[in-house]
Structure 1
Amino acid sequence: MKKILVMAALAICSFANAQKGTILVGGNIGYTSEKSEYRFSEDKTSTFTFSPKVGYQFNDNWTVGGEFAVSSSNDETTAGIEEKNNNFRLGAFVRYSVPLSQTFAVFADMGAGFQTQKDKVYGPGNAYAKYKGDGMYVGVTPALFINMKKGFGLNFSIGGLGYETLSFDNNGADYSKFYFNFGQTFNIGISKNF
């Protein structure tokens, strides 16, 4: 009986370590909804994001690679102002993974890189303004991985924390923002190790 338990433990450990030296390919689709109240209006923002990644798992727990993200958001206020934003990010990430069983693992991604954003603002009376900004981002996102079969699985996350900056041309408002959006964001994705 002891031999069977030892063999089972070794099989589980070897499965958990089977990802070393592989290429990770994955991506997420995300949705964020945020409400803010100002002195005279209420602001509602909805964002849709697509973010693929490619990395090399050089260790049982560590992966490094490249990432990019494309997002589109719509911001509406009760004051009659509507803003449409398109954002593009390109950067690198580091992932630390911890297998919990053959089926489940938890991981945290830390990403950093360059971002650019284009904004179109529509105001009352058909007023229109256009802005373009460039900046940087850094963020940490914890997530859950569910192994479906042979390294192919689903990723789930509900937010993270980070810091970003954007410097706009055309006298647009420059900003830097720290965010903590646990529970406000939902991301689902797939990944496969080759």
Structure 2
Amino acid sequence: MKKLLVAVVILFTTMASAQKNSILLGGNIGFSSEKIGDSKLENFEFSPKVGYQFADRWTAGVEGSITNVKVIGTERIEKYKIGSFVRYSVPLSNMFSFYTDLGAGYQSTNVSDGKGMYASLTPALFINMKQGFGLNFSIGGINYSNLDGNGDPRQERFGFNFGKTLNIGISKNFGL
């Protein structure tokens, strides 16, 4: 079952570049499970995106995320994100495009009513399989986030994870 969930995560990780005046739909579905001794952690995430390609190489849109983390024997942690993104695409051929997503927005968690912001920069490669339907590949990016909660110290995270992660996704653009 876990291998199936990992396969689903890999299939729905990013959105593709598209043609001018088209709508892009995409996002991520993720699941992970970790066990260390008697402690077990399960993480589920759903992150949809909707964008509009307003110029030949530029797309802008909104993105969101709902994450549910369960640590066996303790409380459930919920995290929410809502923000916007901008994408710049460079066609390399009829089959390949390189793109970079820059996203930023608001985030919150139920732990100590934490609230903050996030930002990310993710380069990727799109392979056009047929009529705007294709595969997306990325190998990491740059991420920053912060959270301030009631009674908890401020949390700040910065990550540079090129080569440490692999995302493979499918996508489709819809012309208007």
Q: Same fold (TM over 0.5)?
A: yes
Quote the Cα distance in structure 1 between the aligned partners of 2:127 and 2:41. Answer: 30
Q: Does 1:151 align with 2:132?
A: yes
Structure 1 gap ranges (5+): 1-16, 35-43, 120-130
In the other structure, the counterpart of 2:152 is 172
1:23 maps to what in 2? 23
Of 89, 98, 105, 2:97 maps to 105
Q: Does 1:183 align with 2:163?
A: yes
What is the Cα deviation at residue 107 of structure 1? 0.7
In structure 1, give the amino acid aligned to 2:51.
G
Provide the rounded CA distance (Å) in 2 between the counterparts of 1:133 and 1:29: 23
Q: How does 1:27-176 map to 2 (within 5 A)?
A: 27-30=27-30, 47-73=43-69, 85-119=77-111, 131-169=112-150, 171-176=151-156
Taking structure 1 as reference, are residues 142 and 47 closer, same or farther at Cα in structure 2, changes over 3 Å only? Answer: farther
Are 2:59 and 2:88, in contact at CA under 8 Å, matched by a contact in 1?
yes
Query: What amino acid is the match of 1:26?
Result: G
Structure with max Cα Rg: 1
Number of aligned residues: 154
Q: Give, in whole Å, the separation in 2 of the partners of 1:26 and 1:62.
A: 16
Say which structure, 1 or 2, has more relative contact order (CA 8 Å, 6+ apart): 2
TM-score by length of 1: 0.67
TM-score normalised by the chain length of structure 2: 0.73
Q: Give unpaired runs (5+ residues) of structure 2.
A: 1-16, 35-39
Compute the displacement of 1:167 (Å).
0.7
Q: Shift of the alpha carbon at 1:18?
A: 7.3
**Post-superposition offset of 1:154:** 2.1
Question: How far off its partner does 1:183 sit?
Answer: 3.1
- Give 1:122's aligned residue: none
- Please give the root-mean-square deviation of Cα atoms over the aligned residues, in Å: 2.9
